[in-house]
Amino acid sequence: MKTIRQHWLLAFAVVLVAAAAVILSLQYLVFRDGKTLLFYLFMDIGFLPLEALIVGLVIERFIEVREKQEVAHKLNMVMGAFFSELGTPLISELLPGITSVSQIREQLHLKASWKKEDFSRASRFARAFKSDVDLGQIDLVELRSHLVSRRQFMLRLLENPNLMEHDRFTDLLWAVLHVQEELEARDSLQELHPPDEAHLEGDVLRAFDHLLAEWILYASHLKEDYPYLFSLVVRMHPFQDTRSAEVTS
């Protein structure tokens, strides 16, 4: 394939040079003015470095923008896989233990009518959100089992090179993995000592804060690029009193 492309480029270059020679020859045959022909030829050659610079910068910028768009698209696919497989169910598991759950439901009750300003407002709320957590309201044994079953999935996501472009999502994965490791490392999750319980509460809150912030970005991406997926998220997201996949209106 590479040899064929090189042959094609060589043939294309030969054709261009031959075309230039024919055009210049015709100009000389018609006007019989070699001095003027050479004058304009050298003037055009003098501008070639500037033209090459300008064209090179434009092409480089175009390629850079295109590569960033492709990386962003691939990253959004990774985020979509995470929230479909683990992220959204995990939010549902942690939400009962969050003391400010009513405030979260009010600010993040995603609706089909949301616009960019609504997502911006929700994103600001999610990033500034502070709360406490009551581990007694969370089934830690079930949470541990769920996270352990998804450990390999999270590790595979971390191996994705596109995550280098999104530090916050990488931080989310590490925060969730850390909660899994902390829960798995304990023989019993019943009657935790107060200092140990406070430590676990901090780990859970860290993961939950990251989940909120990235979930808003995920929903915003679906709204813009995949409205049919966004419609299902609106009907099934955990920040509402009742959820149903059925379309009722």
Q: Which residue has the tokens 């319980």?
A: 197
Q: Which domain holds residue 14?
A: 2-63
Q: In sequence order, what are the residues at sequence separation of 6 or more whose Cβ sits closer than 8 angstroms to the Cβ of residue 213?
A: 123, 126, 127, 168, 172
Asked if 131 and 116 count as a contact pair (C-beta separation under 8 A), the reply is no
Provide mean pLDDT across the span 95-122: 91
In a shared domain, residues 172 and 227: yes
In a shared domain, residues 8 and 96: no
The domain tally of the chain equals 2
**pLDDT given for residue 37 in this prediction:** 66
Say yes or no to pLDDT of 184 above 90. yes
Tens of pLDDT, residues 151-180? 999 999 888 877 766 788 889 999 999 999
Asked if 204 and 197 count as a contact pair (C-beta separation under 8 A), the reply is no
Provide mean pLDDT across the span 21-46: 72
pTM higher than 0.85 for the full model? no
CA dihedral 165, 118, 133, 243 (to 10 degrees): -100
Provide mean pLDDT across the span 45-61: 74
pLDDT category of residue 204 using cuts at 50, 70 and 90:
very high
Is residue 69, in this structure, part of any structural domain at all?
A: no
In a shared domain, residues 119 and 208: yes
Is residue 247, in this structure, part of any structural domain at all?
A: no
